[in-house]
Amino acid sequence: MQIVSKDNPRIKLLGRLLSSRKARSENGLFVIEGARGCADALRSAEGENGLGIAGVYYVPEQIESGSSLAELIGSADGSLLFEITADIARKVSSAETSQGIFVIAKQLDSRLTAESVVSGGKYLVLDGLQDPGNLGTMIRTADAVGITGMILTGNCVDLYNPKTVRSAVGSLPRVDIFVEKDREAVYPLLADKGIRTAAAVISGGTEVREFDFSGGCAVVIGNEGSGLDSTATELCSDRVTIGMSGSIDSLNAAAAAAILLWEMMRSGR
């Protein structure tokens, strides 16, 4: 199906999903933009438990003929394919330069329950994280090191913010992610499953290379500017600190997460 009008209802929905957290929440959908992310999304749609695709919007002349992306589009359900103009792509795009392809997909996060938590699992808990780019990078890191899952508290940035989705570069469908609005419910739920919670603190915790990550464990990272607040820190069973050299006293939240998750998976197996 071809769409040439910017006023088409489908295009208006696409634009709202890219620009509005409320629209994403109300519709249970989000948008993946760009050639690499969309190719990963279309691959992830295969299989019984694959990513739920609600629509593929693309500019034909911006899709390289014979490319893997072109093949994925060609093998997709035709009823979900919509050819759009370059003007429409530029209008709705959240990127500086549109690559001419968008995939609308069903949201992926699950409700956090006792049944969904794996005893002995390795988790990343985010409490108050606000930067979408950091969140996307952490999702990519979680995918790379192979943790059991991620838990976002209700005071975190939107999981489906376009900057988050872009930064995750295709890792979203490959990581089990839970969103729990009541952040104080997270910690006892993990404890009931025998999972220790390690608050990442600038000082006063066990140095990361000496921390015991064996058994069930969750690293807890807070707000980029202020870190974990006292309530969250007190709810955690342990404290862990990344030792610094020189005059540096802290790291970017995504950099800290990469170190902590790598060490948890390396030494905690």
Asked whether residue 70 falls in the same domain as residue 126, the answer is: no
Question: Residue 244's pLDDT band (boundaries 50, 70, 90)?
Answer: confident
Residue 49 confidence (pLDDT):
63
Asked whether residue 135 falls in the same domain as residue 248, the answer is: yes
Q: What is the CATH number of the domain that holds 128?
A: 3.40.1280.10
Asked whether residue 95 falls in the same domain as residue 156, the answer is: no
Question: Residue 51's pLDDT band (boundaries 50, 70, 90)?
Answer: confident
**What separation in angstroms does the CA of 223 have from each of 65, 125, 153, 162, 236?**
44, 12, 11, 20, 16
Residue 10 confidence (pLDDT):
97
Asked whether residue 114 falls in the same domain as residue 222, the answer is: yes
Asked whether residue 46 falls in the same domain as residue 119, the answer is: no
Asked whether residue 49 falls in the same domain as residue 160, the answer is: no
Report, as an integer, the average pLDDT of 35-60: 88
Q: How many helices (H) and strands (E) does the chain have?
A: 10, 13
What are 105-130's pLDDT values in tens digits?
A: 999 999 999 999 999 999 999 999 99
Asked whether residue 137 falls in the same domain as residue 262, the answer is: yes
Report, as an integer, the average pLDDT of 169-180: 90
Q: Per the confidence metrics, is the pTM higher than 0.85? A: yes
Number of domains comprising the chain: 2
Residue 216 lies in domain: 110-267
Asked whether residue 48 falls in the same domain as residue 181, the answer is: no
